[in-house]
Homo-oligomer: A and B are copies of this chain.
Amino acid sequence: MVCQVIRVAVAGASGYAGGEALRLLAGHPEVEVGAVTAASSAGARLGYVHPHLLPLADRVLAETTPELLAEHDAVVLALPHGASAALAAQLPADVLVLDCGADHRLADPVAWKTFYGSEHAGTWPYGMPELLTGATSKQRDALVGARRVAVPGCYPTGISLALAPGFAAGLLEPADVVVVAASGTSGAGKGLKANLLGSEVMGSMSPYGVGGVHRHTPEVEQNLTGAAGEPVTVSFTPTLAPMPRGILATCTARVRAGVTAAQLRDAWQQAYADEPFVVVLPEGSWPRTSDVLGSNVVEMGLALDERVGRVVVVAAEDNLTKGTAGAAVQCLNLAFGLPETLGLPRTGVAP
């Protein structure tokens, strides 16, 4: 364990991801919150922008500059896609940079170009420690001591963890994976859009990004391909649910001939037996997003539908915690050699 406190800056602190990073960092026993920066909100009191962050209420948002950020041990970038690469390039190599944006997640420049439309900024270690990268290996190894981390997208977190055990164990067909996920509205950010008004979203479900065009699709495929050792393709449809937080991902894949329910359950349980933040629920139990509200945990349940030859895995997470800021803090712990669970809640706020 390091002997002195770790000073962490948050860039893009006025948004929902930045706010959640601050909530977790403010309660982390080895961290001191340093600079909090923003763009259009620079100059505002944090108590005005995030009234729920009482202990930081008197902090004032500064302009986001590389000079200011560089004075810290670690920097959380909670910026719009495309904004982090240029900034990160100006930060010293020994400062830990945790990019909550997508800029450095994809290894394939073609996939990047197809889904994001801009030039590829290069690939950083992917911040999902529990992700199987083969039959037994996990992504964690790449994160210990890292100084650049691409924090995963919110949807890919639940989806990839939900399906990777089956692919890593060779139990699933790589084609015809279908995922439908429901997200709380904070996943759509704090930007002012008519379809995100409370009057529009309360009491309503709606889809978006239909037809395989959501940008998290190639990220999921990359993760599952890594676990499977062969190309996996995914049909992914996101929907917007009338709740502020939470993702429920319903993930199905065809099982290979002869695969049994017991084999499936074994594979999932083995994959996550020692993981503090991934829970495979007992048979017949299913996750609820409310149970992981504010917690860094992904909960999942699974069942085999023998009639149609598909496994169905349903995973719940908090899109802002394990889906974004919690993953960033978890990677910070790994990067600095701290206990991986430090400062990260394993209880949800329910009901």
Contacts and interface: CB of A to CB of B under 8 A. Distances in A.
Interface stretch (A5-13, A102-110, A200-208): A200-208
Nearest to A29: B29
Interface stretch (A80-88, A176-184, A222-230): A176-184
Count class of interface residues, chain A:
35 or more
A51 B291 contact: yes
Contacts of A239: 182, 248, 250, 314
Contact of A254 (B176, B184, B197): B176
A199 B211 contact: no
* A204, A245, A252, A293: most-surrounded residue (chain B CB, <10 A): A204
Interface in A177-196: 178, 180, 182, 184-186, 188, 190, 192-194, 196
A36 B335 CA distance: 38
A194 B196 contact: no
Interface in A133-186: 175-176, 178, 180, 182, 184-186
B304 A211 contact: yes
A167 B299 CA distance: 36
Given A52-B290, A237-B312, A312-B211, A198 B346 contact: no
Contacts of A346: 54-55
A210 B245 contact: no
A347 interface: yes
